[in-house]
Amino acid sequence: MVKIRTIELGNFPLLLAPMEDVSDPPFRAVCKQHGADLMYTEFISSEGLIRDAAKSVQKLDIFEYERPIGIQLFGSDVDTMGECARIATGAGPDLIDINYGCPVKQVACRGAGAALLQDIPKMARMTAAVVKATPLPVTVKTRLGWDDSTKNIEEVAERLQDVGIEALTIHGRTRAQLYKGDADWRLIAKVKENPRIRIPIFGNGDIDSPEKALEYRNRYGVDGIMIGRASIGYPWIFNEIKHFLATGEHLPAPTVADRVDACRRHLDFSVRWKGERTGIFEMRRHYTNYFKGLENFKPFRSRLVEAPTHAELRAILEEIEEAYELALTDE
């Protein structure tokens, strides 16, 4: 049983990655329905939270059915991060996560996210401040290092464990790689093999199939896997991996009806949580992924992207289901 303090996650948990502009409550809901064991909010700016910025505060929204759920924070100032941990704790999550892995310029070039990999003493001080500020377990997500010449994750893991973190997720790339090339899990395995490391170690990067999840579990010995991009438009990946690990067999692929149902649930929650205008606009990026691989889908996608109302979108989704079911019947 993998545990973060008293939070029981099963024998090999599958975590949903915190993804900016993706891992909001509507998206998390469909992932939870399809087997995610532990989820995180989108990362929340400590500066935005201190200023009470509406977008940052909204990201604190969590729901009972999501548990266990973590709130992820990022920032560049030690004291501010401690104060934000106190604010986030008030939202009632099960744990607080610190982002030391985001590679994008808007974050890293301001001294936050993966930038802390260039200043391990500051990273340790910041982590200690967050641990001190909350009674909840504190976890961290980071990368192998800043670039190929500074792959310092083994030192990072020990230092952060020493100041009190209770789990560590490692993405198998450096900041310099961004999301290019293949994720390298060999250093993740070294961290896991270190006899000083007592906390759960979760691997992240390039897991996009049940076969790869099994291979990486066996080869690298991690306690669980965090899944990000592969879950976008395909929340079924969590239960597919679980079934394959348990039986060696594949679950049936989602039908068109399954895809429509997941997309509709996502849309309905998006509209309910964000309001019709914003909810509809922010769903547009998801349609291609939900219906990837369907023949002759382009006209439907255009209509979904252009539809101005929730009612019209629901009608189009129903039409999609009927059209593809009819096509199967005619075969």
Amino acid letter, 271 = V
DSSP assignment letter at 199: S
| Radius of gyration for the alpha carbons in the chain, expressed in angstroms and rounded | 20
First to last CA, the chain: 47
Give the number of other CB atoms < 10 A from CB of residue 26. 21
Residue 305: per-residue pLDDT: 95
Which is more confidently placed, 113 or 329? Answer: 113
Query: In which residue ranges of the chain is CATH 1.10.1200.80 found?
Result: 256-330
Q: Which CATH architecture has domain 256-330?
A: Orthogonal Bundle (1.10)
Q: Quick one: average pLDDT of 249-264?
A: 96
Any idea what the Cα angle at residue 325 is, between residues 330 and 30, rounded to 5°?
A: 160
Mean pLDDT over each residue of the chain, to the nearest integer:
93
Q: Are strands 69-74 and 138-143 parallel, antiparallel or unpaired?
A: unpaired
Mind listing the pLDDT tens digit for each residue in 70-112?
A: 999 988 889 999 999 999 999 999 999 999 977 776 777 577 8
CATH for the stretch 3-247: 3.20.20.70
Mind listing the pLDDT tens digit for each residue in 301-324?
A: 999 999 999 999 999 999 999 998
Q: Give strand pairing partners of 304.
A: none
| Range from 173-187, 192-206, 242-256, 270-284 carrying the lowest mean pLDDT | 173-187
Q: Are strands 3-4 and 7-8 parallel, antiparallel or unpaired?
A: antiparallel
Distance CA 284, CA 287 (A): 6
Mind listing the pLDDT tens digit for each residue in 14-67?
A: 999 999 889 999 999 999 999 999 999 998 888 888 887 777 888 889 999 999
Query: In which residue ranges of the chain is CATH 3.20.20.70 found?
Result: 3-247
Could you tell me the sign of the dihedral formed by the alpha carbons of 268, 28, 96, 174, in that order? negative
Positions marked catalytic: 102
